[in-house]
Amino acid sequence: MAVRRSKKKCLVIGGCGFLGRHLVEELLERDYTVNVFDMRSTFEDEMVTFFIGDLCKTEDLLPAMENVDIVFHCASPAPSSDNYQLFYRVNYEGTKSVISACKEAGVQRLVLTSSASVVFEGVDIQNGSEDLPYASHPIDYYTETKILQEKEVLKSNCEDLHTIAVRPHGIFGPRDPQLVPTVVDMARKGKSKYIIGDGRNLVDFTYVKNVVHGHILAGESLDEGSVTCGKAYHITNDDPIYFWDFLSKILIGLGYAAPRYKIPYTLLFYIALVVQFFCTLLKPLVVIKLTFSPMRVALAGTHHYYSCERAKNDFAYKPLVNMDKAIDLTVQSYAELRKKD
Ligand SMILES: NC(=O)C1=CN([C@@H]2O[C@H](COP(=O)(O)OP(=O)(O)OC[C@H]3O[C@@H](n4cnc5c(N)ncnc54)[C@H](O)[C@@H]3O)[C@@H](O)[C@H]2O)C=CC1
Ligand SMILES: CC(C)=CCC[C@@H](C)[C@H]1CC[C@H]2C3=C(CC[C@]12C)[C@@]1(C)CCC(=O)C[C@@H]1CC3
């Protein structure tokens, strides 16, 4: 008689990262058995089996996929890196390795963490649905390879491997290495006094626990014949907020002053483009990290918020934590970044 496993087993690729580790914690809460695959180790948990390797190598992935029901692929190089080769290798070629490893190991469900930015070209998007076309001029290399990656995952959906792409936007929460630390760094350097544009551009910032909830529901939905197979889904807080109100709440919560002085969006965007051009010319001699890259200026000065109706309809998604509570929990978790008197 075949032995029936009672618990579902999953693998989180990128499980030592910000989103990945929150996903691991919630999967354990919901009684899944969890494997983690990552190229680095950032925490220990006796309930988790860790595999260290490079996702671009199928042979590294295979041992981690043994008897796995659902693979969550949420690994990527940091978006702030400017290295096209790295993005292409990990996000595109690496994702193809993940797909072949899933097929070879007999995994039936694959959930990709994509990004809502795959449709963003630097111009306003208001309540955008998943039917928007992919950006024909993506705002950076990261986004360009997230598009390639998502296309590959969705087209590999077949009878044996059911795939889905979750598109979060602006993830924040405890242990995020990117958003809150960057904003605080800017404040400490006196660069957070300015508002780009009129300050009334609405944006999705999504609390990490809501993103995790969306991923788990997406994975659970991938039954044979489900409408969700081969599709992309926005996962948001379903509560767009003025970009500058969000930043102000984080800054004030941590004891810093809110941005006050308005700079015209178009002016700053073109300045950022020119500065980026000179930085590229100087790259062989010196590497300069721009605080106001054209990508950041575009993200800070335009509307970009998305509808999550499809996720609500197809797998009953609804955010678990509202915006005020999410900001509060996030601010409380960053005691070390609080302004010292
Ligand atoms: N942070 C955000 O606001 C958003 C993130 N996303 C996506 O969510 C996912 C997770 O992002 P975060 O948790 O913020 O990033 P993170 O940088 O905290 O985690 C990514 C993890 O991937 C691992 N990784 C990278 N290359 C690898 C390789 N070759 N082999 C094995 N592991 C590798 C890293 O070691 C890291 O632990 C990414 O796919 C990202 O594109 C999407 C939308 C917004
Ligand atoms: C210009 C300024 C005031 C920037 C400070 C905040 C930024 C560090 C974040 C604001 C929006 C964020 C964001 C991302 C990274 C961090 C921000 C630029 C992503 C690019 C991360 C990866 C994605 O897939 C899309 C995100 C969009 C929003």
Q: Is residue 57, in this structure, part of any structural domain at all?
A: yes
Counting Cβ atoms within 10 Å, is residue 239 exposed (0-12), middle (13-18) or buried (19+)? middle
Q: Is the CB of 180 under 6 A from ligand 2?
A: no
Q: How many CB atoms lie within 10 A of CB 315?
A: 20
Helices vs. strands in the chain: H and E counts, helices first? 12, 15
Q: Where are the beta strands (DSSP E) in the chain?
A: 9-13, 33-38, 48-52, 70-73, 109-113, 125-128, 162-168, 171-172, 194-196, 202-203, 206-207, 231-235, 241-242, 261-263, 304-306
Q: Is the CB of 117 under 6 A from ligand 2?
A: yes
Q: Two tokens at 30?
A: 């919901």
Distance CA 247, CA 250 (A): 5
Give the ligand whose atoms come closest to the C-alpha of residue 140: 2
What pLDDT is stored for residue 229 in this prediction? 98
Overall number of domains in the chain:
1
Residue pair 142/150 in contact (Cβ under 8 Å)? The answer is no
The verdict on residue 118 lying in a domain is yes
CB 300 less than 6 A from any atom of ligand 2? yes
Number of the ligand 2 atom closest to the C-alpha atom of 205:
28
Whole-number pLDDT of residue 341:
75
For ligand 1, is residue 19 a contact (CB within 6 Å)?
yes
**Atom 8 in ligand 2: which residue has the minimum CA distance?**
179
Using a 6 Å cutoff on CB, does residue 115 contact ligand 1? yes
Cβ of 55 closer than 6 Å to ligand 1, yes or no, is yes
In a domain, 263, yes or no: no
Token pair listed for 269: 């965007």
Beta bridge partners of 162: 109
Structure tokens at 175: 């242990």
Closest ligand to C-alpha of residue 182 is 2
Ligand 1 mutation target, pool 74, 111, 117, 208, most atoms within 8 A of CB: 74
Say how many Å lie between the CA of residue 214 and the centre of ligand 1.
17
C-alpha atoms less than 13 angstroms from C-alpha of 98 in its C-beta half-sphere: 35
Residue 225 makes CB contacts below 8 A (sequence gap 6+) with none
Amino acid identity of 177? P
On whether residue 275 sits in a domain, the answer given is no
Does residue 172's CB lie within 6 angstroms of at least one atom of ligand 1?
no
The token pair that represents 91 in the structure block: 């996000």
For residue 32, being part of any structural domain is answered with yes
Pocket probe for ligand 2: among 19, 296, 330, the residue whose CB has the most ligand atoms within 8 Å is 296
Q: Is 187 in the pocket of ligand 1 (CB under 6 A)?
A: no
Looking at residue 152, which CATH number applies to its domain? 3.40.50.720
Closest residue to atom 7 of ligand 2, CA basis: 179
The range of the structural domain enclosing residue 55 comes to 9-173+205-238+306-321
Q: Is 289 inside a domain boundary?
A: no
By the 8 A CB rule, do 22 and 212 touch? yes
Which residues does the annotation mark as catalytic? 142
Residue whose CA is closest, atom 16 of ligand 2? 179
Whole-prediction pTM: 0.95
The residue to mutate among 12, 55, 76, 166, having the most atoms of ligand 1 within 8 angstroms of its beta carbon, is: 76
Walk along the chain (341 residues) and give the pLDDT tens digit of each residue.
444 455 899 999 999 999 999 999 999 999 999 999 999 999 999 999 999 999 999 999 999 999 999 999 999 999 988 789 999 999 999 999 999 999 999 999 999 999 999 999 999 999 999 999 999 999 889 999 999 999 999 999 999 999 999 999 999 999 999 999 999 999 999 989 999 999 999 999 999 999 999 999 999 999 999 999 999 999 999 999 999 999 999 999 999 999 999 999 999 999 998 988 888 888 777 777 777 888 889 999 999 999 999 999 999 999 999 999 999 999 999 999 999 87
Domain annotation covers residue 248: no
In a domain, 145, yes or no: yes
ipTM of the complex: 0.97
The predicted pLDDT at position 6 comes to 56
CA of 298 to the centre of ligand 1 (A): 22
